[in-house]
Structure 1
Amino acid sequence: MTISRIFVIAKNVFQEVVRDRILYIIGLYTLILAVAIRVLPEFAASTQNKMFLDFGMVAMSVIALIVAVFVGTGLINKEIEKRTILVLIAKPISHSEIITGKFLGLSAVLAVLVTSMTVIDLIFLQFGNIPHPTASILVAAVFLFLQLSLITAIAITFGVFTSSLLAVILTFAVYLMGNITQDLVQLGRLSRNPAIQSVTQILYLILPDLSRLDLKNDAVYGLQALPDFTTLILNLGYSLIYSVMLLAIAVFIFSRREF
């Protein structure tokens, strides 16, 4: 059964990543926050609460991003380099099942990672008596997970047809560009150059608009105000559609590779 095979692959990825990395990463995040809550008041006593709230969200995003990129690019690529992919293909498992299972497995890891770090962050905020908009932080965490899932799909797609190092570089490049796509369009308009405007417009259409899924500023500076519900739903749909499209591309490329 297709679903059962996808579940087995996803479960294996989840168990492997959790066993090897997840506890150390959560411990590292806890240590970073413990140091930050002691050190930040030394630099900015008047704004320490806002700085710590911002720092916790940024640290969470960076750590989870590193996991998504480095693990995601190697999910298929390492199987190819070690030739263990031949074992999977020899079994009655389709290319789409392999890609989907790997994606869902790493997405489950990221969900656990983001959830754990969010809980830890809220605990530090609570015990540090730091005012914080809990609802906004939770919404930002959910959309951080969606952004990371999209990055995972990008990482897997690059990992299917490039080396691990190049896939990592390309994924980080897409992440950086994806966060400034709207700024690129504005830059093209300001240039008043048709060629530049065309290039920036093409980049905007091709690259994922990751700024839609970045709600850290809303959590830190938005007080109790949450983003508009309709906007949240549209951005949720955007991330899901883009992820599915990328996975379809990954399956297409993967199915045409010879091993």
Structure 2
Amino acid sequence: MNFGRISVIAMNVFKEVIRDRILFIIGFYILILAAAIGLLPEIAASTENKIFLDFGLATANVLGLVVAVFVGTGLINKEIEKRTILVLMAKPIARSEFIIGKYLGLVTVLAVLTAAMTAIYLGFLQFDKIDYSTNSLLIAAFFQFLQLSLIAAVAITLGVFTSSLLATALTFFVYLTGNITQDLLQFARLGQNPGIQRLTQALYLILPDLSRLDLKNDAIYGLEALPNSMVLVGHTVYGFVYSLMLLAIAIFIFSQREF
């Protein structure tokens, strides 16, 4: 595996996405926060300012999700539809390098986007004199980045063997279901239906447990509300390992395809 070739592919993805979408997303985020501050002054100034704190984190997560899903599902399919994949595969580039490079490029975009939106978010909180815990919000932003990176791996994996439209729909399904798998598991146990219990258990085992990487609500209440450091490390490892497993699946499927 040649890391030089991987870095070139990743840089090309990064430049393309930054040029086409990121500045627009960041500008849109600024407008949304400015509108929220202006339209909801009483809420923003209420006790502990929880609503605006939650709104800023949730909006950043949604915008990052849009980038991860729509860009991720199209990274491979775009090359196939334009037939540029034939030119790339004719070069001394391994298919694993191609997938990893595409993924790392998108992850870099998500890292820049998350960092920019977090800085803007903290700037609005400071400007409006809203009380917050910097460390807890930064931890929540880091785990938001991990969640988006995992979703990007899902999007790329699905985009390898399905159309962009179907991959987009399935990725959103994984995101929505992955955030409630624990709730579905508990609900099925209350219902006492063996069939539903087996289905929800299968979903819990197969789909990523994205609730592990969602610390928005915990961060709003400060560091004391966050899980302890060992649990946070465990969640971090979980996110990395699951993403690596998805990339391994994507590489295997892509290596079997004929163009």
Fold equivalence (TM over 0.5)? yes
Alignment TM-score, normalising by the size of structure 1: 0.97
Code of the aligned partner of 1:117: M
1:92 aligns with 2:92: yes
2:188 corresponds in structure 1 to 188
2:37–2:44 CA contact under 8 A, matched in 1: no
| Identity across the alignment (%) | 69
Code of the aligned partner of 2:6: I
Q: CA deviation at 1:234?
A: 0.5
Q: CA deviation at 1:24?
A: 1.2
1:132 corresponds in structure 2 to 132
Separation in 1, partners of 2:136, 2:20: 32
1:143–1:214 CA contact under 8 A, matched in 2: yes
Code of the aligned partner of 1:139: I
Question: SS state of the match for residue 208, structure 1?
Answer: coil
Question: SS state of the match for residue 129, structure 1?
Answer: coil
- Closer, same or farther: CA 37–193 of 1 in aligned 2, 3 Å: same
Q: Give the gaps of 5 or more residues in structure 1.
A: none
Code of the aligned partner of 2:242: Y
2:119 corresponds in structure 1 to 119
More deviation, 38-47/174-183: 38-47
1:150–1:242 CA contact under 8 A, matched in 2: yes
Separation in 2, partners of 1:209, 1:26: 28
Separation in 2, partners of 1:8, 1:158: 23
Q: How does 1:57-206 map to 2 (within 5 A)?
A: 57-206=57-206
1:40–1:48 CA contact under 8 A, matched in 2: no
1:221 corresponds in structure 2 to 221
Deviations 1:148-171 (A, max 9, x none): 000000000010011111110000
Separation in 2, partners of 1:167, 1:143: 24
Deviations 1:42-69 (A, max 9, x none): 6686358221111100100000000000
Size of the aligned set, in residue pairs, is 259
1:5 aligns with 2:5: yes
1:161–1:253 CA contact under 8 A, matched in 2: yes
Question: SS state of the match for residue 46, structure 2?
Answer: coil
2:44–2:130 CA contact under 8 A, matched in 1: no
Q: Give the gaps of 5 or more residues in structure 2.
A: none
Separation in 1, partners of 2:49, 2:186: 33
Deviations 1:12-51 (A, max 9, x none): 0001101111111111111111111111126686358221
Separation in 1, partners of 2:227, 2:142: 13
Code of the aligned partner of 1:11: M
Separation in 2, partners of 1:24, 1:121: 16
Code of the aligned partner of 1:160: V
1:239 aligns with 2:239: yes
Alignment TM-score, normalising by the size of structure 2: 0.97
1:18 corresponds in structure 2 to 18
Alpha-carbon RMSD: 1.4
Separation in 1, partners of 2:28, 2:224: 29
1:154–1:246 CA contact under 8 A, matched in 2: yes
Code of the aligned partner of 1:46: S
1:133–1:224 CA contact under 8 A, matched in 2: no
Separation in 2, partners of 1:120, 1:109: 16
2:118–2:141 CA contact under 8 A, matched in 1: yes
Q: CA deviation at 1:224?
A: 5.0
Q: CA deviation at 1:214?
A: 0.2
Separation in 1, partners of 2:191, 2:242: 29
1:253 corresponds in structure 2 to 253
- Closer, same or farther: CA 42–152 of 1 in aligned 2, 3 Å: same
